[in-house]
Structure 1
């Protein structure tokens, strides 16, 4: 097998795995046009069409399905063999693709980037900051940061930073004009700042707890944002009540710019975890990254979420 043969077959398997040329090209770190050309070259060399492609769909032909069924397991075994060999390196090196929601990146990664590269100078971090809910394995990420409630059962999960909670906050000016809610139900009579998770059509419903029982309140108000940082900035300016991570609003509370509301209803819940796929041998770059962040934030009992 020539080197180009394997590259074309790997490109084909990656397209099938993602079901999408753009995501597969991103995973392979090549352009979509280059990937398309590789697939055409493979089909021309075999004299067979492997994929049915339209502007909206992608499917395997019978020949493509047969080829993938035979080649994909062999490719997985070859990749595992390469991983086993790489695990013998003394110093982890190479590209590590990481997916992190904005608050996890700001809280856990940004403050320690300098220390990380002093420790592991040969690792190239390719970090995507994205608040959308994704399938990290399907999207080609090696490690992702996830809240405990969103962990998948078939993934390795390493706790990062301990429990967290969210607080309802408003400016002193807003409270002077509109008063304070005494219970979550009172929020229905207030101007609240809504948050929509990127990639989601619905609005986030604010979550509270009493006596160990969790419940949600669908609030309403003058502003809907996809950035919770903007929600907090709007709250500081008196637009309404925001709901966000305690660690991120605490400095503003201490500075007198915001007032914490409904504290007794704001309970802690499992915080952030680093999540990665179970494998026979964990890649050295994954192990180095996870261990570094875990030790860098050891001892924290509460963090933003």
Structure 2
């Protein structure tokens, strides 16, 4: 009976995390019918509905969310203890799952993760790249990466990058056809490369600061993307202005491929932080990872 309960609970967690029976079945290596039967059996045993099923999506009910909040931290602790036992008298072992944005992964995480994997051959690392805000507890991530201003107060935050600026850029060809904007309000007269947020599905409003005020501008343009690198490529192709992290365009600015505008209006943003629940116990492998990606003051 205990083994059946564990299988059913793990099946439910995977479906809730993937929001799909199809994806969860593929991840677990079972058929959809087997997975559906397992979740149904668990619901019948508990006497509550755990998942809302529609033709397009699967989501946990309120009771399902409560069960996830109970199960996920405890199963994580068990997994960590097993990894700790396995690592006794040997190299550290374990699996580390990190939810991160595209820019943070490319610019700051990947160089350090590459060295970390070479140094610790028995530790596995998964970078789940998504520009939205993931629920790292419900989705069974060990940690996430966000800008410092976006992290909840009950999380432990470890800096992994310095602060950085955003820059408004366009190609020389674009500025041969349009005059350069002088203030953020002038952007309404320009074609801009819009960035779609994966969490809300909305369009990112460009954020500026100057003359003692903070301004958000909802720009317009014919091209919308959901990765910052595509923003840069579109700007280089002359499709419009892009608002992107400075490290992605410094070389293009130096070569003259791109031209910067509104420099005095572009604020400094807090750097990226690795964050994780304060109450959660972590394996030796995770602590090694934290030290590997931590940003040390110059």
Range class of TM-score, shorter chain: 0.7 to 0.9
The alpha-carbon distance between structure 1 residues 40 and 173, as it changes in their structure 2 partners (threshold 3 A), is closer
2:198: which partner in 1? Answer: 198
Following superposition of structure 1 onto structure 2, how do residues 82-101 of structure 1 map, counting pairs within 5 Å?
Answer: 83-84=80-81, 86-87=83-84, 89-90=87-88, 91-101=91-101
2:53: which partner in 1? Answer: 55
2:159: which partner in 1? Answer: 159
1:168 aligns with 2:168: yes
Q: Is the 8 A contact 1:160 1:271 kept in 2?
A: yes
Deviations 1:54-108 (A, max 9, x none): 63377779xx89xx88x98699667646645644635432221111111111112
- Contiguous gaps of at least 5 residues in structure 2: none
C-alpha separation in 1, matches of 2:132 and 2:30: 23
Q: Is the 8 A contact 1:92 1:123 kept in 2?
A: yes
1:146: which partner in 2? Answer: 146
Following superposition of structure 1 onto structure 2, how do residues 1-305 of structure 1 map, counting pairs within 5 Å?
Answer: 2-12=2-12, 14=13, 20=19, 22=21, 25=24, 29=28, 31=30, 33=32, 34-40=34-40, 50-51=48-49, 55-56=53-54, 80=77, 83-84=80-81, 86-87=83-84, 89-90=87-88, 91-211=91-211, 213-294=213-294, 297-299=295-297
Deviation (angstroms), 1:19: 10
C-alpha separation in 2, matches of 1:193 and 1:81: 46
Deviation (angstroms), 1:271: 1.5
C-alpha separation in 2, matches of 1:265 and 1:75: 44
The alpha-carbon distance between structure 1 residues 119 and 23, as it changes in their structure 2 partners (threshold 3 A), is farther
Deviation (angstroms), 1:112: 3.4
Deviation (angstroms), 1:195: 1.4
Q: TM-score, normalised by structure 2?
A: 0.81
Q: Is the 8 A contact 2:184 2:217 kept in 1?
A: yes
- Contiguous gaps of at least 5 residues in structure 1: 301-305
CA-atom RMSD in angstroms: 3.6
